[in-house]
Amino acid sequence: MDPMTTPTTTPGPGAASDSLASRDKGFLLGLYERMFLIREFEEQVKYLFLAGSMPGTIHQCQGQEATAVGVCSALAPDDYVTSTHRPHGHALAKGLTPLEILIELFGKGAGCCKGKGGSMHVGNLAKGMPPAIAIVGGGLPLATGMALAFKMQKRPAVVACFFGEGATSEGAFHEAVNMGAIWDLPVVYACENNLYGASTHISKVMRAQSVAERCSGYRVPCRTVDGNDVVAVHDAAREAVAECRAGKGPVLLELLTYRMTGHSRRDPCHYQPKAERQAWAQRDPIETMSRRLLQRDDITAGELEQIRNRVSRQITADIETARREPEPTLADLTTDVYA
Amino acid sequence: MRMGIAEALRTAIAEEMRRDPNVFCIGEDIGVPGGWGGAFTVTLGLEKEFPDRMLDTPIAENGFFGVAAGAAMMGMRPIADVQYGDFLLCAMDQIHSNVSMLRYMSGGTVKLPMVMRAPVGATGRGAQHARNTERFFVGVPGIKVVAPSTAYDAKGLLKAAVRDDNPVMIFEHKLLYGSKGPRSESGAVDATSEIPAEDYVVPLGTAAVRRPGAHVTLLGWLLMAHFALDAARRLEAEGIDAEVIDVRSLSPFDYDTIGRSVAKTGRVVIAEEGPKTGGIAAELAAGIMERFGGSLQAPVERVASPDVPVPFAPVLENAYRPSPAAIAAAARRVAQS
């Protein structure tokens, strides 16, 4: 698939990757549930922002659920991720609970960052995710350094470093990938290529035909993957993680996907052509997965509906819990600056 | 044993690396066999003892400061250095946006025990290898900043910095290193000390009274601590008894030590190498007035560089750098007002 052009035809359910018939049912349903969790979380949060009951700003990832879930499902609990200004999906995929993120988004003291991070900095180091880095490209050197520590400590851990295609114009991207390469570090550079850096199309800022091409000079394996196919992402990430664990890192995965919502709140996306939006809507990662799952004899529409209802109810309940959490105390303002 | 700052730092780094396997050095040209041991010989030869812990990087300051931060977050204790303090500005995003903030943003769960070393000072290289960049890191919550002016302090502060669980920046002055051979500096000032054989640290956050006095307090750090002492010797002949404080810790300031001196003298001169406007001396002066304004018997004076880039021509560079004579003149004005 050419990342520089929009899809003109709608790939059928089976066109993205091979049949799911041979895969474990529980595993597949787990991927589906996690993707739906992210979508539902983002949709309910979007409503809270538009209703004015949540402070700050948000950068959401509707449409990009398969990249987060596909990559994180290939990681072990002791592995790490680094994230970006659009971190909710990565956090949920890595195992942070909706509740700890919601409390953080409401700016309450019991949030995953004690209310000091907010939407753009959600993370929980104990769950393998440092605070998300909201400076574009800023997480790449950090992830590379985490991998350097693993190598020096002879720990088998791997770090998956999420960033957008926009970050590949930053010097930090090039400096980090080069160091990852010369030191053979266990990093999976997971580029979510959603075609737009804020409102600017990738074709305006990159002469190379793909991020993989742009990166190929570093002699790092660069693989372009359908980022809306969660199983394809999982398989590519699992292979990359195994290579990293075997000392053959780093690997760059270019995950082709699309942001089905604004860059940040209230962005109406007028820069995304309607036909392009419609074409990508046909490739919605959750809908696609649903169609493919239902081709199996042992998965029913009712089963998927049950999952969706359970997740929706849980998030709705979590929102009410988060709302009732106490604000941080003013004494918290000046703590946690120094160790 | 008598050592210069470069040798004292080298000894400190080696001892800390022996003590703790998580300590490592990362920077440009720091461990190349047959190379220089960094721009000023500080790490010369350490790669022989620690071949796996002297990481020579690409010329990518922002990248490798971020790499050091990531490694620190995962339990390593990196010592990252730049060849010239000016190059810290290339790494500004990682230092300001990641290193200083990650702990706070995480609600106190992230720890970044990392040391950042940088040589500063105007030394015959023109504008871009000359700035006293410590000013850009004072007033950055989350980072500690020290600036040793003697070999004893350099060793003790570096050891304290390595053992501290926070990011610590160490600014070193090119004219104080005592580097020998081809890396020696013209115009160098003797900053050698007797270094004890046993292990010691100089606590972060402390200033040092270098010369007790009763009439006026002279504050300086790095080269200006030496120039302030020189000025005090000139003033002594005139009957002005100056107390000289090596500020040494630029973040946080040791207001206890400074305050005791101000309470005694009531008069303050602050010497700073670097443009006067927006400098560290401005913050110190404001902090002193807020805290000890009632003790002041005269307005605080600053002696700093003019608001210009660092010039090349030796005659201009000498005019740029505050001189002992200028510090003494300010002290006379303050003492007599």
B111 to chain A nearest CA, in Å?
A: 7
For B107, which of A135, A141, A336 is closest by C-beta distance? Answer: A336
Q: What is the torsion angle, in degrees rounded to the nearest 10, for the CA atoms of residue B196, residue B199, residue B203 and residue B207?
A: 0
A-chain residue closest to B107, CA distance = A113
CA distance A249 to chain B (A): 16
Enumerate the residues of chain A whose CB falls inside 8 A of the CB of residue B104: 116, 336-337
Question: What is the structure's pLDDT at B144?
Answer: 98
Mean pLDDT in residue range A18-26: 87
Report d(CA B95, CA B99) in Å as an integer.
Answer: 5
Judging contacts by C-beta atoms under 8 Å, the chain A residues touching residue B68 are 145
A152's CB contacts (< 8 A; 6+ apart) are: B24, B52, B53, B71, B76
Query: Do A145 and B69 make contact, defined as CB atoms within 8 angstroms?
Result: yes
Residues B116 and B159 reside in one and the same domain: yes
B60 to chain A: which residues are within 8 Å by CB? 171, 175, 178-179
Query: What token pair was written down for B331?
Result: 């002290």
Residue B66 has its nearest CB partner, among A115, A126, A176, at A176
| B216 and B185 share one domain | no
Whole-number pLDDT of residue A12: 41
Query: A179 lies in a domain?
Result: yes
Q: Which of A104, A146, A153, A174 is the best substitution to test chain B (most B C-beta atoms within 10 A)?
A: A146
First to last CA, chain B: 45
Search chain B and give the residue with CA nearest A158. Answer: B74
**DSSP letter assigned to residue A60:** -
One domain, residues B328 and B214: yes
Interface of B with A (CB under 8 A): 22, 24, 52-53, 55, 57-58, 60, 62-76, 93-94, 97-98, 102-113, 141-142, 144, 165-166
Q: Is B197 helix (H, G, I), strand (E, B) or coil?
A: coil
What does the pLDDT look like over B148-173, one tens digit per residue? 999 999 999 999 999 999 999 999 99
Q: Residue A335: inside a domain, yes or no?
A: no
Cβ distance of B66 and A114 shorter than 8 Å? no
Residues of B whose CB is below 8 A from A140: 66
Q: Between chains, do B111 and A339 touch, taking CB under 8 Å as contact?
A: yes
pLDDT band of residue B337 (cuts 50, 70, 90) is confident
Residue B22: its chain A contacts at CB < 8 A?
153
Residue B186, pLDDT score: 85
pLDDT of A3 higher than 70: no
H runs (alpha helix) in chain B: 5-19, 46-49, 61-73, 92, 102-105, 151-163, 223-236, 255-265, 280-292, 314-320, 324-336
Q: Write out chain A residues lying below 8 Å of B98, CB-based.
A: 133, 135, 138, 142
Closest CA in chain A for residue B94? A138
* Structure confidence by residue, pLDDT tens digits, B38-69: 999 999 999 999 999 999 999 999 999 999 99
B248: in domain: yes
- Residue A22: count of CB within 10 angstroms of its CB: 6
Look at residue B203 and tell me if it is in a domain: no
Tell whether B28 and B114 lie within a shared domain: yes
Task: Test B67 with A179 for CB contact under 8 angstroms.
Answer: yes
Q: Is residue B201 part of a domain?
A: no
Task: Flag if B70 and A141 touch (Cβ within 8 Å).
Answer: yes
One domain, residues B137 and B161: yes
Our count of domains for chain A comes to 1
The answer to whether residue B327 sits within a structural domain is yes
Digit-coded pLDDT (tens) for B264-321: 999 999 999 999 999 999 999 999 999 999 999 999 999 999 999 999 999 999 999 9
Q: Categorize the per-residue pLDDT at B179 as very low, low, confident or very high, splitting at 50, 70 and 90.
A: confident
Residue A75 is part of a domain; what is its CATH number? 3.40.50.970
The model's confidence at residue A127, banded by pLDDT at 50, 70 and 90, is very high
* B180 within some domain: yes
Count of domains forming chain B? 2
The C-alpha angle A63, A68, A69, rounded to 5 degrees, equals: 100
Query: Does residue A190 fall inside a structural domain?
Result: yes
**Span A8-12, mean pLDDT?**
40
CATH number of the domain to which B28 belongs:
3.40.50.970
CA distance B53 to chain A (A): 9
How many contacts (CB atoms, under 8 Å) link A and B?
150
Among B194, B220, B238, residue at a domain's last position: B194
Shared domain for B31 and B177, answered yes or no, is yes
- The answer to whether the CB of B73 falls within 8 A of the CB of B110 is yes
* Closest CB from B70, B76, B102 relative to A144: B70
Query: Is A179 in Cβ contact with B70 (below 8 Å)?
Result: no
Statement: residue A15 has pLDDT above 50: no
pLDDT at A4: 57
Entry field: residues in chain A: 339
Indicate whether A13 pLDDT > 80: no
Predicted local distance difference test score (pLDDT) of residue A18 = 60
Q: Do B244 and B184 belong to one domain?
A: no
Q: How are beta strands B216-220 and B249-251 bridged, if at all?
A: unpaired
CATH code, domain with B239: 3.40.50.920
Q: Dihedral sign, CA of B129, B135, B138, B142?
A: negative
Looking at residue B136, its pLDDT comes to 98
Within a domain: A116 = yes
Contacts A112 to B, Cβ<8 Å: 107
Active site residues of B: 61, 129
- B328 with B212, same domain: the answer is yes
- Contact status, residue A57 vs residue A264, Cβ threshold 8 Å: yes
Half-sphere exposure of B73 (CA within 13 A, CB side): 36
Q: What number of other Cβ atoms are within 10 A of residue A54's Cβ?
A: 22
Do residues B177 and B219 both lie within one domain?
A: no
In a domain, A7, yes or no: no
For residue B299, the model assigns a pLDDT of 97
In a domain, A332, yes or no: no
The 8-class DSSP code of residue B199 comes to -
Long-range contacts made by residues A244-248, C-beta under 8 angstroms, separation at least 24? Answer: A244/A147, A244/A158, A244/A185, A244/A186, A244/A187, A244/A188, A245/A156, A245/A158, A245/A186, A247/A184, A247/A186, A248/A184
Q: Which of A112, A148, A178 lies closest to B71 in CB terms?
A: A148
Per-residue pLDDT tens over the stretch A50-78: 999 999 999 999 999 999 999 999 999 99
Q: Rounded to whole angstroms, what are the CA distances from B233 to B150, B211, B228, B268, B324?
A: 18, 10, 9, 17, 10
Show the domain range for B173. 2-194
CA distance B22 to chain A (A): 8
Put simply, the answer to whether A339 touches B113 (Cβ < 8 Å) is yes
For residue B150, is it within any domain? yes
* CB-based contact A138 B94, cutoff 8 Å: yes
Percentage, residues of chain A above pLDDT 70? 95
Which one of B57, B93, B108 has the shortest CB-CB distance to A336? Answer: B108
Whether B296 is covered by a domain: the verdict is yes
pLDDT, residue B187, reads 87
Contact B247, B292 (CB under 8 A): no
> What would the mean pLDDT of B86-115 be, rounded to a whole number?
98
Q: Which of A114, A116, A141 sits opposite B66 (nearest CB)?
A: A141
Q: Which of B171, B194, B217 is the last residue of a domain?
A: B194
Check whether A11 has a pLDDT greater than 60: no
Examine the domain organization and report whether B146 and B59 are in the same domain.
yes
Chain A residues lying within 8 Å of B144, measured CB to CB = 338
Answer yes or no: do A152 and B102 touch at CB < 8 A: no
Which pLDDT score is estimated for A89?
A: 98
* Closest partner CB to A148 (pick from B67, B105, B113): B67
Question: Tokens in use for B262?
Answer: 């101000």
Domain annotation covers residue A58 = yes
Residues B56 and B124 both lie in one domain: yes
Least confident of B237-241, B250-254, B333-337: B333-337
- How distant is the Cα of A222 from the closest Cα of chain B, in angstroms? 20
Which residue segment(s) compose the domain that A309 sits in?
A: 25-326
> For residue A174, what are its two tokens?
């090039």
Looking at residue A17, what is its pLDDT?
53
Which of B157, B172, B194 terminates a domain? The answer is B194
In a domain, A4, yes or no: no
B261 and B303 part of one domain: yes
Q: What is the DSSP string of A204-252?
A: GT--SSSHHHHHGGG---EEEEETT-HHHHHHHHHHHHHHHHTT---EE
Mean pLDDT calculated for residue range A160-168: 98
Half-sphere exposure of B242 (CA within 13 A, CB side): 35
Q: Are A63 and A289 in contact (CB under 8 A)?
A: no
